[in-house]
Amino acid sequence: MSRKARKIIFYYFSTIVLVLVVVGHGVASYDPSLKVYFLDVGQGDATLIKTPDYQYILIDGGRDNSVLYGLGRYMPFYVRTIDLVVLTHPDADHLVGFNEVLKRYSVRQVLLTGVSDENEAYQNFLSLINNKVTTVWLAGATRSVSLAPDIDLEVLYPDRLISGKNFTQDNDWSIVSRLDYDGGCVLFMGDATKLVEKRLIGAKEFLTCKILKVGHHGSNTSSDKKFLEAVSPVLGVISVGQNRYGHPSPEVVERLTELGTRVLTTKSDGDIIVTLKKSGYIVE
């Protein structure tokens, strides 16, 4: 057999093996549950969500490239598409990692506030989505993004369009979203402040949710007692790393524990994986 013939046979054999691995992974590992990966990205925020039909949502991208390692841990190597990216607000610790994500992955949809901010990382982000993303949703104009017939990411805040506006306090306009699936839900607070929490209560939003992604890394600028009582979370997850701000605030942790909420932090617990299913949720 000639060398050329051997190369052709090897090529086709390798292709068949790869296809079998990919298809086999999809069949063998199908799970009707939804997984939420609160990634340990240091003092920042990044949450990956995997739907039962293998759609991926990334809420915030952290302050550096650490998010890429998180994606590598939980997304199959052959999946190079993220179905939805959500930038809650343009602070560096939520934004910077997205720029590398957008360079290395195909992103189908982006949800953001569209506020005006001149920082370089944000301008790079806007340029990347303008060139690479076909569907861009503006919070306030969009109240929900449908991911599947039974999976919607509901935008609770901002409650009005703020695209193009400039604010001295971006945290007061951070996206707050809620993901419901199979009777369970996760409330993502971004860096929303007590002012935002008060507005949500005043708007009579349905806030009760078993799993709370605690606002602003556990800062005392968020997580007012009345708001926590309205949410009544069973599990509170705080994304936090080494910092000089005193995050998470002992007062916030105390408020949560007084409600009977189990508190986990990425600083102490690393990646926190929550599986939502009909029977409730499981923390891995």
Q: Which domain holds residue 6?
A: 1-29
One domain, residues 133 and 255:
yes
Q: What is the mean pLDDT of the chain?
A: 91
Per-residue pLDDT at 12: 56
Strands 184-188 and 211-213: parallel
One domain, residues 211 and 270:
yes
The confidence band for 21, taking pLDDT boundaries of 50, 70 and 90, is very low
Q: Minimum mean pLDDT among 103-107, 122-126, 151-155: which range? A: 151-155
Per-residue pLDDT at 278: 78
- Reported as a single tens digit per residue, the pLDDT across 162-193 is 999 999 889 999 999 999 998 889 999 999 99
Mean pLDDT on 183-205: 94
The pTM score is: 0.90
One domain, residues 23 and 37:
no
Using the predicted structure, report yes or no on whether residue 30 has a pLDDT greater than 90. no
- Reported as a single tens digit per residue, the pLDDT across 49-79 is 999 999 999 999 999 999 999 999 999 999 9
One domain, residues 109 and 140:
yes
CB-based burial label for 240 (10 Å; 0-12, 13-18, 19+): buried
One domain, residues 99 and 227:
yes
Per-residue pLDDT at 90: 97
Using the predicted structure, report yes or no on whether residue 25 has a pLDDT greater than 60. no
Can you give the CATH number for the domain in which 64 is found? 3.60.15.10
Which residue type, as a one-letter code, is found at position 185? C
